[in-house]
Amino acid sequence: MLKRLAAALLAATAMSATVVHAQRPSPPPGPMINGYLCCNMRTYGDSISDINYDEQGTSIVAVGTPARITAYDFRWFSLDLGGKPQRIKNDYSRNITLPEFAQRYVVTADPKQKMAAFAPAVRDAILAAKVMPGMTREQVLMAIGYPVGSENPRLDAPVWRYWRDSWSEFQVNFDDKGLVKTVVGDAVALSRVLAPAAAQP
């Protein structure tokens, strides 16, 4: 009798574990978009973080690079980016859903077509991954990517916080018209992010 009870208990436990495993939520689905990279992003070789640190060993994947989303996981999505496999990780913007996160970075309209209508100085700054006073929010996004959602829940806020690395923050300040007024940060950060003609004291 005891052996039968033990066997029954073991079977019930195994069945319960199987049910729990089967009910584990799958990664949220999202659209398999064919489009373009929204903005200049830095890759570590095969992965990109939304924090977009300007660190040694990273290289820029240019705004407008052809992009095709191929899969979703819990905190990142995979894509073909200019013919190379990459994944973009949601490290610091988890207040937005993964499909929404993916649609920030892979856009259906080619940014380079919009850039063609920009003033030459603005276009050159974007291509150099730099910011200058007078830029719109959209132009800042193209140049240096989105500010992370955890620290910037509203994109219409007057200040966007960015980080050059773990220790170096800089801030892009907008005026009432939504144009860049100033960029504030340490000297090294400003030397990396400000367009040369826009150098500030």
Distance (Å, whole) CA 31 – CA 156: 26
Whole-angstrom Cα Rg for the chain: 22
Residue 184, classified by CB atoms within 10 Å of its CB into exposed (0-12), middle (13-18) or buried (19+), is middle
Which residue in the block uniquely carries the two structure tokens 């290289």? 59
For residue 138, give both structure tokens: 């959209």
For residue 52, give both structure tokens: 């977009």
Q: What is the pLDDT of residues 118-128, one digit of tens each?
A: 999 999 999 99
- The CB density around residue 183, as the number of other CB atoms within 10 Å, is 24
Which residue in the block uniquely carries the two structure tokens 């100085």? 121
Q: Read off φ and ψ for residue 39, nearest 5 degrees.
A: -160, 165
All residues at 6 or more sequence positions from 158 whose CB lies less than 8 Å from its CB, including other chains:
173, 174
Note if the pTM is more than 0.75: yes
Q: What is the pLDDT of residues 14-53, one digit of tens each?
A: 444 444 444 545 555 677 889 999 999 999 999 999 999 9
Distance of CA 143 to the CA centre of its chain: 13
Does residue 112 contact residue 39 with C-beta atoms inside 8 Å? no
pLDDT given at position 196: 84
Q: Nearest-5° angle of CA 159, CA 161, CA 167?
A: 150
pLDDT given at position 172: 98
Q: In what helix (H) or strand (E) does residue 143 lie, and over which residues does it extend?
A: helix 137-144
DSSP letter string, 66-85:
EEEEEEE-SSEEEEEETTEE
- Parts of the chain with a pLDDT under 50: 2, 12-22, 24, 199-201
